[in-house]
Amino acid sequence: MSETYRPAAIAKIQDQKAQMRRSLLKARQAMPPQVWQQKCDRICTHLTQWPTFQSARTILAYCSFRNEPHLGSLLAQQRSWGLPRCEDKDLIWHRWFPSCSWPLRPGTYGITEPDPTSPLIDPHKVDLILVPAVACDVRGYRLGYGGGFYDRMLSQASWHGKPTIGIVFEFARLPQIPKNSWDRPLSGICTESGLFLAS
């Protein structure tokens, strides 16, 4: 059995991830609101200037929680967005745009989510996926909250080949995050310092 598949090795990596998660979330929570807002605006500006963003038909995004970079100025753009809803272990993607009448409401974990009755997204129409994260490393590996939602989703064939951009603050763009066998690298990372596409 290869090292990364041994139960003891998996447990060790999960432990390292849990420690990193705790300290990075603490640092994110401690950001003064004004600094946080400035960095969020910069992240949105970098994305808006990216041709792939400009030409995307539908973009999967998220509603910020626990001080994650807020995509408010992007979500205000009158275009087709997809927002996730947690259902058991899966993410269900619903269509949303600013002038639509489909309601958003607090869902699982207290994250703002679409109502289950709002229309679903057709994965074929999605051209870009903005992925929330606690941290990303320069290779594109991501640390989330430990639920494995995005790992499971991105391992499905319908999402293969779509650009995936991890959205984090610069302090959470790390040289290396411990990686499990199921982790797949994202195509790039956007922070307040810029957009970094994997080569």
**CA atoms within a 13 Å half-sphere pointing along the CA-CB vector of 174:** 17
Sole binder of ligand FFO in the list 82, 132, 140, 163 (CB under 6 A): 132
183 binds ligand FFO (CB under 6 A): no
| Residue 143 interacting entry, from ligand FFO, ligand ATP, none, C-beta within 5 to 8 Å by type | ligand ATP
Taking the complex as a whole, the smallest distance from the CB of residue 28 to ligand ATP amounts, in Å, to 14
**Any binding-site annotation on 18?**
yes
93 binds ligand FFO (CB under 6 A): no
Strand partners, 90: 87
Q: Please, which residue, 103 or 146, has the CB nearer to ligand ATP?
A: 146
Q: In angstroms, rounded to a whole number, what is the distance separating the alpha carbons of residues 47 and 71? A: 10
Beta carbons of 134 and 145 less than 8 angstroms apart: yes
Query: Which 3-state string (H, E, C) describes 126-177?
Result: EEEEEEECCEEECCCCEECCCCCHHHHHHCCHHHCCCCEEEECCHHHEECCC
Beta carbons of 130 and 94 less than 8 angstroms apart: no
| Residue 31 interacting entry, from ligand FFO, ligand ATP, none, C-beta within 5 to 8 Å by type | none
64 binds ligand FFO (CB under 6 A): yes
**Any binding-site annotation on 142?**
yes
CA angle 14, 62, 89 (to 5 degrees): 50
Which of 43-51, 58-66, 98-106, 122-130 is the region at the interface with ligand FFO (rule: CB under 6 A)? 58-66
Q: What are the binding residues?
A: 17-21, 68, 142-150
Q: Which residues bind to ligand FFO, rule: CB under 6 A? A: 62-65, 68, 84, 86, 91, 109, 111, 132, 144-147, 149-150
